[in-house]
Amino acid sequence: MSDAAVTPIVILREPPARGFDPASLATLRPFIVPTLIIATWQAGASTGLLPAYLVASPLAILDSLISLIGSGVLLHHLFVSLGRVAIGLAIAIVLGVGLGLLSGLSRLGEDAADATLQMARTLPHLALVPLFILWFGIDETPKIALVALGALFPIYLNLFAGIRGVDPKLVEVAGTLGLSRGAMIWHVILPGALPSALLGLRYALGVAWLSLVVGEQINAQSGIGYMMMDAREFLRTDIIMVGLLVYALLGLGADQLVRALERMTLVWRPTIVSPRP
């Protein structure tokens, strides 16, 4: 018998076929309807069913968006709008939190401020534009005041409701442990009211952007609203749609920031997350 080495025979097997993965479909599912809408929109514009002077096509909007970004026009108007919202929202947070704490932590403060604020919030603040022009002129002040007034009430109402909605048993336990009023407010009442306060901030951001759209039509020389109004004069629906898209993205981005803040500050709160089907 020969001593030559025997060459082993290697049998290659085909990898098992991968079955259908439901998780991949679940990931794509939220994009199905928007994709169909955009495709139908583009088809209608390409065939002439949607005239360009009424609604620009998605491709025309994308082209205008790229052009406005490349020229720096969009970024200029965007920074102006962001500055107005930031100042107005900061004023609303200071006033809303201050008044919410005053009314929520004190019966005397509630009697002094709550009734007046409840009456004021029923007024359509966007209808106050003519008065704001008379009071503040046509510069930046009426625009910022409109944003601040619109964002004030969601912050105040939700903080007030959150403070008054704290579980009385927790307050009773804190009193039994001998906590002072200041310690009780800091360690029990304010953490208990924080979820409602952050929810109010989310609502306030939405109202702030809505108020800015109207405010930037008051003799504005810059801002996303001004860019849209200027485009309207020339029937540039593509630029108008770019402005609407920017507003939508800004609102979504601001909401996501607050939700991230919720996840960081409310780690102590138990939540129930149901699995996606």
Encode pLDDT of 19-33 as tens digits: 555 656 667 777 788
Q: What is the pLDDT of residue 87?
A: 94
Residue type (1 letter), 105: L
Q: What is the pLDDT of residue 97?
A: 92
Encode pLDDT of 154-212 as tens digits: 999 999 998 888 877 877 777 777 777 778 888 888 888 888 899 999 999 989 988 88
Do 72 and 61 touch, CB atoms closer than 8 A? no
Least-confidence region, from 20-24, 91-95, 244-248? 20-24
80-84-90 Cα angle (round to 5): 140
User: Is the pLDDT confidence value at 140 over 50?
Assistant: yes
Q: What is the pLDDT of residue 23?
A: 59
Do 238 and 42 touch, CB atoms closer than 8 A? no
Q: How far apart are CA 2 and CA 14, in angstroms?
A: 35
pLDDT (mean) for 54-82: 89
User: Is the pLDDT confidence value at 3 over 90?
Assistant: no
For the chain, percent of residues with pLDDT exceeding 90: 15
What domains are defined for the chain?
58-262 (1.10.3720.10)
